[in-house]
A and B are shown apart, each in its own frame.
Chain A
């Protein structure tokens, strides 16, 4: 990590640790994911869904919300207060500033994913070892980490041109949600005759991970998306410098 990235990362970590909005976002995320998990356990009992699959899906659904709430003020907030202009005046490589902010936001997302495993521990203790150990969730957590990485990078990208944090949040939701729905629609339209064509590849990826299967193409897909988002963010900021 370069010096500039480290300085910006430390500043953002400090700002997030003092921000009531981040604590509210984490609380909302834990409440939603635990609520969904326990509701899914009630509904999914006796069906073909495995318990780890229900947990992974319950965490994956509110995960974009956490990423969006954490990333929306990164650049849009600084633009609204005027400090972004002061930051851009400095002779620092802008790519390193973006990386510092991205890593800080991703740290909160990882914290959220790890913390979402707590209800599993409670449930496991309550059921007296009938559930698989927490380590069974590791592949699911890894893929959730990749999803969080993509949503965080998209959030950073949308925060760069936005004038207000809420505009960044709406942008991330529309672009991310729109891309998933467009993917599903195109799959149905052009690949409906192929049995192997998944309508929601991201959901299939999560379910595979829940059953312990990790695919290399997931890693490639998410890392490419992250690299593209950060690259475009850098160019957008450089163009305004």
Chain B
């Protein structure tokens, strides 16, 4: 889990991990394989990335979009149909499977993007603000889905929703202006996460002013 104020570098970090943004220095190793190296396609087969703006094909219907993306990911026949049924059910998409994506609300788009990311059951799921635009009920549903998914694979997500961070994992990394400011225990009884983060941002800002 990655948290941080706006401009902290959460999306950039996730983009680098997903292999979308090339880092100025250093390497990203996933399972010992460099994400920008010659064997990158092997790693990409086992990972999925959902950016914050959730780009989708607006001229396609929900099921057409998932079929197209599923086919490009190597699924076909019975397996494709089975995965489509599963992700549509998990992301509550059955009621608008025939709707044009361009006419969906932001929350519905996010669920379609998540369904797309889950199509191949990736071992690493990278999600940038997956709760953006979702109402509390939808966010709770997605949160439960990700909590369940986290038992089978790794989920790396950036979020502003601290209640989701508390629910999804025991630790979160706090970024501030491109640096790792701290790694926090989300379920600590000492003080609520929001309060501890507030103190951390104040300390970071004060340290920055002093230097």
Known: A7-B71, A11-B68. A89 touches B53 (CB 8 A): no
B56 within 8 A of A: yes
* Contact, CB under 8 Å: A81 / B44: no
Known: A81-B58, A85-B20. A92 touches B72 (CB 8 A): yes
* Contact, CB under 8 Å: B68 / A82: no
Contacts of B48 in A (CB 8 A): 89
Give A81 to B102 CA distance when docked, in angstroms.
12
Interface centre among B42, B48, B69 (most CB of A within 10 A): B69
Interface string of A82-96 (1 = CB under 8 A from B): 110111111110000
* Contact, CB under 8 Å: B55 / A81: yes
Closest partner residue, chain B, to A92 (CB atom): B72
* Contact, CB under 8 Å: A91 / B44: yes
Which of A4, A83, A90 makes the CB contact (< 8 A) with B44? A90
Which of A3, A8, A87, A91 makes the CB contact (< 8 A) with B45? A91
Contacts of A90 in B (CB 8 A): 44, 72-73
Contacts of B140 in A (CB 8 A): none
**Docked complex: A15-56 residues within 8 A CB-CB of B:** 15, 18-19
Closest partner residue, chain A, to B64 (CB atom): A14
Q: How many residues of B contact A (CB 8 A)?
A: 22
**A11: shortest Cβ distance to chain B, in Å?**
5
Interface string of B9-24 (1 = CB under 8 A from A): 0000000001110000
Instruction: Tell me what chain B mostly uses at the interface: helix, strand, loop, or mixed.
Output: loop
Contacts of B45 in A (CB 8 A): 91
B131 within 8 A of A: no
Closest partner residue, chain A, to B70 (CB atom): A7
Interface string of A58-92 (1 = CB under 8 A from B): 00000000000000000000000111011111111
* Contact, CB under 8 Å: A82 / B55: yes
B49 within 8 A of A: yes
Interface string of B48-91 (1 = CB under 8 A from A): 11010101111100000000110111100000000000000000
Known: A18-B59, A81-B58, A83-B55. A91 touches B41 (CB 8 A): yes
Contacts of B55 in A (CB 8 A): 81-83, 85-86
Give A81 to B69 CA distance when docked, in angstroms.
16
**A91: shortest Cβ distance to chain B, in Å?**
4
* Contact, CB under 8 Å: A83 / B56: yes
**A211: shortest Cβ distance to chain B, in Å?**
44
Contacts of A15 in B (CB 8 A): 57, 59
* Contact, CB under 8 Å: A89 / B72: no
* Contact, CB under 8 Å: A83 / B51: no
Give A230 to B155 CA distance when docked, in angstroms.
37
Give A88 to B73 CA distance when docked, in angstroms.
12
Give A3 to B71 CA distance when docked, in angstroms.
9
Task: Name 16 A/B residue pairs within 8 A (Cβ), A-sorted.
Answer: A3-B71, A4-B72, A7-B68, A7-B71, A7-B72, A15-B59, A82-B53, A83-B55, A83-B57, A85-B55, A86-B51, A89-B18, A89-B19, A89-B48, A90-B44, A91-B74
Give the interface of A toward B (CB within 8 A).
Answer: 3-4, 7-8, 11, 15, 18-19, 81-83, 85-92
